[in-house]
């Protein structure tokens, strides 16, 4: 949340009050130096304090996420302790004897934040369970359901830069282990604000929490391994992207009877500095270069990558031109969705975020299954009743909703490896399967473009301009309808999203990123005319035409 900029005296007073309660030597020293320099009139130090104290990291439907450092607009022990105490207060107003399970990854301070949370929860009277060591996010999401607790916290910033950390909250009970949504997010945020009015030094603490044994991890491994098909002949590479995925994933693959992968050793173990990648996200250009090199060396059929907390999956395959390429999130989602439909026996529901490809809807229609679009984020997908498969184009897939109610890159990789092995046994490949998809369901072409602005305010101005002068055409193609989700569309809660339905069945969706000065737009086009190559060419041509038109419109 933001407020009016503080005056210099107020700013230094706020910083000193924060300093008095900061138990972390690193952030304490950082803030002390800033205060000293600001008191002497150093403009850079004053600006640094304003950046840290004029705003507070907002607690929302993704919990907390931000840069590590001192002050309320950074991730640190004071802020996390306030969040834990606020969450504890929320849980105690909803249950007589609430409980929570807490997990953490390998980022800077993740274990510290997790242990602070456990001591605050125990001190508040919430039964607290700490996972035994750093583990992937899907294990924590599984533990919320498996242990039947009231809530879960995962300390992770997923695929964010190394300077970040985060705090993701799940709820049990009627929420079935899904991430928080409204109104719980606002209620928890209010409780945190109440705590933040005092000092964390006054909060009760207790070490009377339980560090669980490997039982919950072993159960996750067993249930995930059970997803594997009977065919195991597959050659593949694996990277954990310097995250926490390898230990658990390796155990899953071994129990499933899958052959061991050719491991990208340089990225196998947790390393909070992420030294071999500019950005620890397999979607980013260059992030899978070491995987491609290993795959060529191993003569692999495919390459598997997890993001640092292993809730996302990236897959790459050798192209027909001999070059390796990463499949898009929509391509992986289409193939896994088709696989889910094949084993559905005609019952259940498929779901995807509204910015994901309409291909999943086409699969559902072909198999007589129900289908739902959701707002962006797995917190919405995971809540769909009767769900058998859900995905979002940003590499998130849920193939086993009975086990976990969040995206799970490990489970998804087992399912994908099984599919690839079955295809190989038939003398086929993943690319052949994509061709078969186009022949049966049509061709689907997608684009996801991020436009960076100098100031976040420019994004709001651009959205306002788009709403005030709704385009009648994009790239020379007529706009058939203009849907403003701020007014509520298709039963969704009001959201800062605009959707343009384009002639011929294509569409464009525009939305702010929310965390960066970026405006994102998503283009989807499809074709069922002609043979497979003609269908794909037609869909790609329309998608390219719309992308160019949107770049011009939003520039």
pLDDT in tens, 250-274: 999 999 999 999 999 999 999 999 9
Same domain, 20 and 66: no
Distance, CA of 542 to CA of 292 (rounded, Å): 30
pLDDT at residue 514 is higher than 70: no
Q: How far apart are the first and last CA of the chain?
A: 29
Please tell me whether residue 221 adopts helix, strand or coil conformation: helix
pLDDT digits (tens, 9 = 90+) for 150-161: 999 999 999 999
Report in angstroms the alpha-carbon separations of 143 from 129, 140, 406.
Answer: 10, 5, 12
- Average model confidence (pLDDT) for the chain? 95
What's the pLDDT score for residue 3?
A: 60
117: closest CA among 131, 136, 138, 97?
Answer: 131
pLDDT band at 516 (very low <50, low <70, confident <90, very high): low
Same domain, 285 and 427: yes
Distance, CA of 81 to CA of 119 (rounded, Å): 9
Same domain, 398 and 492: no
Q: Which of 55, 78, 98 is the last residue of a domain?
A: 55
pLDDT at residue 489 is higher than 90: no
Report residue 335 as tokens: 């193939």
pTM for the predicted model, two decimal places:
0.95
- Residue 497: give the domain boundaries: 442-554
Percent of the chain with pLDDT over 90: 91
Distance, CA of 422 to CA of 429 (rounded, Å): 9
Same domain, 517 and 434: no
> What is the arithmetic mean of pLDDT over 160-167?
95
pLDDT band at 1 (very low <50, low <70, confident <90, very high): very low
> What is the arithmetic mean of pLDDT over 117-137?
98
What's the pLDDT score for residue 515?
A: 56
**Count of domains forming the chain:** 4
pLDDT band at 455 (very low <50, low <70, confident <90, very high): confident
Same domain, 411 and 303: yes
In the block, tokens 């969705």 appear at 337
What's the pLDDT score for residue 368?
A: 97
Same domain, 328 and 208: no
> What is the arithmetic mean of pLDDT over 478-488?
93
Q: Determine contact, residues 82/199, Cβ cutoff 8 Å.
A: no
> What is the arithmetic mean of pLDDT over 427-439?
98
Report in angstroms the alpha-carbon separations of 8 from 2, 19, 243.
Answer: 17, 16, 41
Same domain, 187 and 113: yes
Same domain, 176 and 97: yes
- Provide the CATH number for the domain around residue 473: 3.30.310.50
Same domain, 337 and 385: yes
Q: Which of 162, 191, 212 is the last residue of a domain?
A: 212
**Preceding omega of 183 cis (within 30 degrees of 0):** yes
**Of the candidate ranges 135-139, 400-404, 512-516, the one whose mean pLDDT is the lowest:** 512-516
Inter-axis angle of helices 532-554 and 456-468, nearest 10? 110
Q: Which of 384, 408, 440 is the last residue of a domain?
A: 440
Q: Determine contact, residues 400/227, Cβ cutoff 8 Å.
A: yes
What's the pLDDT score for residue 75?
A: 98
Distance, CA of 408 to CA of 489 (rounded, Å): 29
100: closest CA among 39, 169, 17?
Answer: 169
pLDDT at residue 4 is higher than 90: no
**Beta bridge mates, 387:** 349
Report residue 13 as tokens: 């007073």
What's the pLDDT score for residue 405?
A: 96
Same domain, 38 and 65: no
- Provide the CATH number for the domain around residue 391: 3.40.120.10
Same domain, 457 and 521: yes
Same domain, 4 and 108: no
Which residues are known to be catalytic? Answer: 158
Distance, CA of 377 to CA of 391 (rounded, Å): 9
């Amino acid at each position: 949340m933001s407020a009016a900029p503080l005056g210099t005296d107020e700013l230094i007073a706020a910083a000193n009050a924060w300093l008095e309660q900061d138990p972390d030597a690193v952030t304490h020293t950082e803030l002390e130096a800033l205060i000293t320099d600001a008191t002497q009139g150093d403009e850079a130090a004053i600006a640094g304090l304003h950046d840290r104290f004029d705003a507070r990291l907002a607690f929302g439907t993704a919990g907390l996420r931000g840069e590590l450092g001192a002050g309320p607009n950074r991730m640190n022990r004071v802020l996390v302790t306030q969040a834990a105490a606020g969450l504890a207060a929320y849980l105690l107003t909803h249950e007589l004897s609430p409980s929570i399970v807490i997990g953490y990854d390998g980022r800077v301070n993740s274990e510290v934040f997790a242990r602070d949370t456990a001591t605050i929860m125990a001190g508040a009277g919430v039964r607290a369970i700490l996972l035994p060591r750093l583990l992937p996010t899907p294990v924590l999401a599984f533990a919320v359901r498996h242990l039947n607790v009231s809530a879960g916290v995962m300390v992770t910033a997923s695929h964010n830069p190394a300077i970040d950390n985060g705090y993701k909250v799940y709820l049990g009970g009627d929420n079935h282990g899904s991430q928080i949504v409204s109104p719980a997010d606002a209620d928890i945020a209010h409780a945190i604000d109440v705590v933040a009015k005092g000092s964390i030094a006054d909060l009760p603490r207790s070490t009377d929490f339980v560090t669980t044994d490997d039982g919950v991890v072993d159960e996750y491994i067993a249930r995930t391994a059970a997803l594997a098909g009977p065919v195991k002949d597959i050659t593949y590479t694996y990277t954990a992207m310097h995250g926490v995925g390898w230990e658990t994933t390796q155990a899953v693959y071994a129990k499933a009877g899958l052959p061991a992968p050719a491991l990208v050793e340089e990225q196998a173990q947790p390393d909070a500095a992420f030294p071999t990648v500019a950005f620890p996200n397999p979607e980013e250009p260059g992030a899978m270069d070491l995987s491609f090199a290993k795959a060529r060396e191993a003569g692999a059929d495919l390459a598997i990558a997890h993001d640092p907390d292993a809730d996302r999956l990236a897959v790459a395959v050798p192209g027909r031109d001999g070059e390796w390429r990463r499949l898009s999130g929509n391509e992986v989602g289409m193939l896994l969705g088709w696989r889910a439909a094949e084993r559905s026996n005609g019952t259940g529901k498929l779901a995807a975020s509204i910015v994901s490809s309409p291909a999943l809807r086409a699969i559902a229609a072909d198999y007589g299954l129900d289908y739902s679009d959701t707002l962006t984020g797995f917190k919405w997908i995971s809540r769909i009743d009767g769900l058998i498969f859900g995905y979002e184009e940003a590499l998130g897939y849920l193939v086993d909703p009975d086990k976990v109610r969040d995206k799970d890159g490990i489970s998804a990789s087992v399912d994908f490896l099984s599919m690839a092995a079955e295809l190989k046994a038939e003398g086929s490949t993943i690319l052949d399967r994509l061709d078969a998809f186009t022949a049966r369901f049509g061709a689907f072409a997608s684009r996801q473009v991020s436009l960076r602005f100098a100031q976040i305010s420019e994004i709001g101005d651009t959205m306002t301009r788009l709403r005030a002068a709704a385009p009648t055409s994009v790239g020379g193609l007529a706009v058939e309808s203009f849907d403003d989700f701020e007014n509520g569309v298709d039963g969704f809660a009001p959201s800062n999203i605009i959707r343009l339905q384009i002639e011929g069945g294509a569409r464009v969706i525009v939305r702010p990123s929310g965390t960066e000065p970026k405006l994102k737009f998503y283009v989807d086009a499809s074709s069922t005319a002609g043979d497979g190559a003609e269908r794909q060419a037609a869909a790609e041509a329309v998608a390219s035409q719309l992308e160019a038109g949107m770049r011009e419109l939003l520039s």
